[in-house]
Amino acid sequence: MAEQNNNELSRMDFVTDQTVKWCPGCGDYAILKQTQRVLPELGVPRENFLFVSGIGCSSRFPYYINTYGFHTIHGRAAAIASGAKLANPELSVWIVTGDGDGLSIGGNHTIHLMRRNLDINILLFNNRIYGLTKGQYSPTSELGKVTKSTPMGSLDRPFNPSSLALGSQATFVARTIDRYSKHMQSVIKNAYEHKGTSFVEIYQNCNIFNDGAYEDLTEKEVAANNVLELEHGKPMLFGKNKHLGLHLDWNTPKIVDLDKDKNVSIDDILVHDQTDFVIASILSSFTYDANFPTPIGIIYAVDEPVYENLLDEQIEDAITKKGAGKIEDVLAGPNIWEVK
Amino acid sequence: MAKTKIKHVDHVVIRFAGDSGDGMQLTGTRFTESTAIYGNDLSTLPDYPAEIRAPAGSLAGVSVFQLHFSSKDIHTPGDQPDVLVAMNPAALKGHLDDLAPHGIIIANSDAFNTKNLKLAGYKNNPLDDGSLEQKYELHTINMTELVTEACKSIDISAKDVQRTKNMFALGLLFWMYNRNTDTTIQWLQRKFKNKPAIIEANTRALNAGYNYGNTTEMFTARYTVEKAVLPPGKYRNINGNYAISLGMLAAAKKLGLPLFFGGYPITPASEILHNLASFRNFGVKTFQAEDEIAGVASAIGAAFSGNLACTATSGPGMALKTEALGLAIMAELPLVVINVQRGGPSTGLPTKTEQSDLFQAVMGRNADSPLPVLAPATPGDCFYAAYEASQIAIKYMTPVIILSDGYLANGSEPWSIPKMADLPEIKVEFTKEFNGEDVFLPYKRDKQTLSRPWAIPGIPKLEHRVGGLEKEDETGNVNYEADNHHLMTSLRHQKVANVADDYPPTKIYGADKGDILILTWGSTFGPGRVAAERLHKNKIKASHVHLRYINPLPIDLGGILKKFENVLIPEVNMGQLYAIIRAKYVIDAHGLNVVRGRPIRASMIVNSVNKILGI
């Protein structure tokens, strides 16, 4: 990305003249604000940002952020963003999607984008409900969820988005929470810096149809015991006094209390290695599991070849081997004859 | 040799028929290549099963290649073959009915064994029971045995030897029609570069076939078909899928834009993906997406980023792309969508041709969502259709559908190689500056075309948002107001209607008024024109108009139609253009609707005209 004299960019440069029409109190406001805070710091000229979304509450995002934007159709943002990025790899392309848009109707595109590893950042707002259609259960809703479409409770087990991402060969998997402003900024920044597809799941509260879905993670009294903030190379500790830790007993993860359990020391606590697929898989398996804290931060990040670079290399390679294509040659083909 | 007469004929139709594994497509293609280089006009129709290898010897497994070549200008692969090459009983059984009276049958008698006869449903061997000789000129040749003999000392498997029998048949046909074997031998040498034994075996089989004709006294005549009188210039043989690929490449080159293709493999459109993927050294970006939706969606994304964007599919894939086309209409982005039509509904007849997606192209989207639709007339014309579709898409900022079909895609004809300089100019200008007062208005339209400006990401100060929600006039902001929606719907409608302003006058073959007009579209051009020519020969005044532009229809069409007592619309569907013409021009019309997985025959159109005129 070419650096330009965009030092003067500020949050306000990324605010549009459109009235934001999310419900008052919606978690989306916080995500919009933190994104608008981070973008000026990335050293990218504003005109090189492209935000692509599908359908849903989250997908109105592009209208409120003053960059190039494309509010597309339900589930297809990943496919449209892929074409936009391939056509112009210079762009910093961002997808804003939700648990319905990105995991249900658009699940196929999401997984294929991740395996291809285009340098695109996915912000998936997970509120575990369909908001824009007024409150049906989503593919991340808990089993037995009672909604208008499931008056007797939902019958399908929820997706675990981070495990899905890992299974799709994603090279960057992270999680943050709408109420964690600073944390969200740092995750978004890291997602930008990662070369390849970055999958960022953002836990977002829908205060109208699924209020309190994440209160265990956001309410002051309980949050510390329920949230594990990941830091690469650091032991995985949580709790009010960082007295709780993650210990790997052979291949079984266990929570230990450093204050109470005298047989364990800080050396027994598993150190986070964001390049370790096994650790990432274990951490991701804690999703929606009441016995373990919810990991937030970068779960997994590795460097793999980026699709659009490989495509450009193929083009260069073809030109080196065959010479730059001459249209006259292919129009004529190998077998011509002349009529005089 | 002395006993063999040379007969001059104007045109010949040969049908090669054999098992899927017999190499009939290859045989047909080689004969076509030699015939093209010789200088005949020609038209081909490959017809193969959807299964890669249906059970050997079965009727379902028969693969066919029909070739019509002539010393005159021809337009179709021919109604009836004059020569049927039958490599097994199933090939004979399935195609004998089509053979012209007194036509020639060349049969590989070695394949007419008990098992194959049973598979084809023959109780007795038709080659032996005398039934065929009464009506046809029958030549039974033990091809398998002859190639085995010819390849005796070559160190290859018996299976590889047997595979060369198609070359034997080809060699014999080359002898019959006075073609030399050189280009095929050169081709074998290229194709099997590192397999000298295979080259040797195939060359020997080819020569064995040629010499068989030369030395046996089985054939009483050889035929010559003089070179066709084509306009001067350089020619090649081309099929529709290749021509359409080149058309996209040429349009991108002329525009100075990178070409992006997003698509998903589907018969009979996959070759377009393959062809464009082979153009990496032109900078072409092809993207094999995860599904049909992602194919078109990625192309829409590429269009937003400023590439010449294209996708190709067939009917079922088109159904999946429908919603995304609505988005391209709403976002007003240029996009070329190629539908290589096949038999349907549903999976239908994947490898057979049909013209039944016209309604889908013109009307098959939710809401009022017009877009231009055009249809090439011949395989070579696919090039110009792709080029013109790109031109319309960019000028009017709209998705454009090209309706090709299985016959155009796989069929081939001699093609006058165009010069880039002779192709019409296409221009593109990305918007770089504000078009409003200190503001960029993404939906402020060109007064003449009603097209909106194309500002692509990366251009400073023109940051803007587009999307599927209704737009406010000029600003493009989301707007749900009643008057605005009516205005925007009308503007989108009028913009597409304006495309017709650019059409050349509609050409009429024959008189501009009279008893009957044959009105065709797409690949029915050939049979329609041949029918009109035949009717003229019989002093019947039938005119022919061919429609290239399906939506919007040409402005002068209504006036033309009203000058004829009768209008006959032959289509390979149940009457789709027919319904549109009747609705739009409130005229009576006659349909001729034949959906047999093949192009309509000229003779059917002639019969239909005669019936309407009471002749």
Residue A46 pLDDT level (bands cut at 50, 70, 90): very high
Task: Using an 8 Å CB-CB cutoff, list chain A residues near B438.
Answer: none
Q: Which chain A residues are within 8 Å of B460, Cβ to Cβ?
A: 45-47
* B371 CA: distance to closest CA in chain A (Å): 19
Instruction: Report pLDDT for B21.
Output: 86
CB distance B287–A83 less than 8 Å? yes
Between chains, do B298 and A70 touch, taking CB under 8 Å as contact? Answer: no
Looking at the structure, give the CATH architecture of the domain made up of residues A11-213.
3-Layer(aba) Sandwich (3.40)
Q: How many angstroms separate the CA atoms of A91 and A82, rounded?
A: 11
- Which residues of chain B have a CB within 8 Å of the CB of A327? 249-250, 253, 282, 420
Dump pLDDT digits (tens) for B195-237.
Answer: 999 999 999 999 999 999 988 878 888 999 999 888 999 999 9
**Which of B226, B298, B365, B428 is most worth mutating to test chain A (most A CB atoms within 10 A of its CB)?**
B298
CA distances from B551 to B328, B504, B557 (A): 17, 14, 12
Question: From residue B603, how far is each of B436, B518, B578 by CA, in Å?
Answer: 60, 13, 20
Mean pLDDT of A96-112: 98
Query: Would you call B291 and A80 a contact, using CB atoms and an 8 Å cutoff?
Result: no
CA B335 to chain centre: 21
Does residue B1 surpass a pLDDT of 50?
no
Which chain A residue shows the shortest CA-CA distance from B244?
A331
Please indicate whether, in this complex, the C-beta atoms of B298 and A331 are within 8 angstroms of each other.
Answer: no
Asked if the Cβ–Cβ distance from A338 to B235 is below 8 Å, we say: yes
Structural tokens at position A214: 């994440």
Each residue's pLDDT tens digit, A211-258: 999 999 999 999 999 999 999 999 999 999 999 999 999 889 999 999
Nearest to A71 among B230, B287, B468 (CB): B468
On the question of pLDDT at A3 being above 90, the answer is: no
Residues B289, B311 contacting (CB under 8 angstroms):
no
Average pLDDT of chain B, as a whole number: 95
**What tens digit of pLDDT does each residue of A116-148 get?**
999 999 999 999 999 999 999 999 999 999 999
pLDDT at A1 over 80: no
Contact B260 A315 (CB under 8 A): no
**What band does B4 get if pLDDT is binned at 50, 70 and 90?**
confident
Residue B2 has pLDDT above 80, yes or no: no
Alpha helices of B256-341 — where are they, by DSSP H? Answer: 270-277, 292-304, 315-331
Q: Which of A71, A322, A339 has the CB atom closest to B281's CB atom?
A: A322
pLDDT of B20 reads 87
Say if residue B379's pLDDT is above 70: yes
The domains found in chain B, sorted by start residue, are 5-224 (3.40.920.10), 236-419 (3.40.50.970), 429-502 (no CATH), 508-613 (3.40.50.920)
What are the backbone angles phi and psi of residue B121, rounded to the nearest 5°?
Answer: 85, 20
Considering only the beta carbons, identify the residue of B183, B302, B420 that sits closest to A328. Answer: B420
Q: What is the mean pLDDT of chain A?
A: 96
Which contacts qualify for B112-121: CB closer than 8 Å, 24 or more apart?
A: B112/B88, B112/B140, B115/B57, B116/B57, B116/B88, B116/B89, B116/B90, B117/B89, B119/B55, B119/B57, B119/B58, B119/B59, B119/B89, B119/B90, B120/B57, B120/B58, B120/B59, B120/B88, B120/B89, B120/B90, B120/B92, B120/B93, B121/B59, B121/B93
Nearest CA in chain B to A331: B417
**Residue A70 pLDDT > 50:** yes
Encoding tokens for residue B357? Answer: 């997606």
Span B315-366, pLDDT tens digits? 999 999 999 999 999 999 999 999 999 999 999 999 999 999 999 999 999 9
Residue in chain B closest to A108 (alpha carbons) equals B290
The predicted model gives B116-140 an average pLDDT of 94
Q: Is the pLDDT of residue A302 over 60?
A: yes
Alpha carbon B518 to chain centroid, angstroms: 21
Q: Among candidates B37, B18, B360, which has minimal Cα distance to B168?
A: B18
Query: In terms of CA atoms, which chain B residue is nearest residue A311?
Result: B285
ipTM score for this prediction: 0.97
Average pLDDT over residues B152-158: 92
Contacts of B289 in chain A (CB under 8 A): 79, 82, 112
Check residue B54 and give its pLDDT.
Answer: 84
Q: Write the pLDDT tens digit of every residue in B492-541.
A: 999 999 999 999 999 999 999 999 999 999 999 999 999 999 999 999 99
Q: Which of A66, A314, A337 sits opposite B39 (nearest CB)?
A: A337
Residue-level pLDDT at A7: 57
Residues B573-589: pLDDT tens digits? Answer: 999 999 999 999 999 99
The alpha carbon of B164 is separated from its chain's Cα centroid by a whole number of angstroms, namely 29
* Number of inter-chain CB pairs under 8 A, A vs B: 210
Q: Looking at residue B57, what is its pLDDT?
A: 92
pTM: 0.95
- The verdict on a CB contact (< 8 Å) between A327 and B235 is no
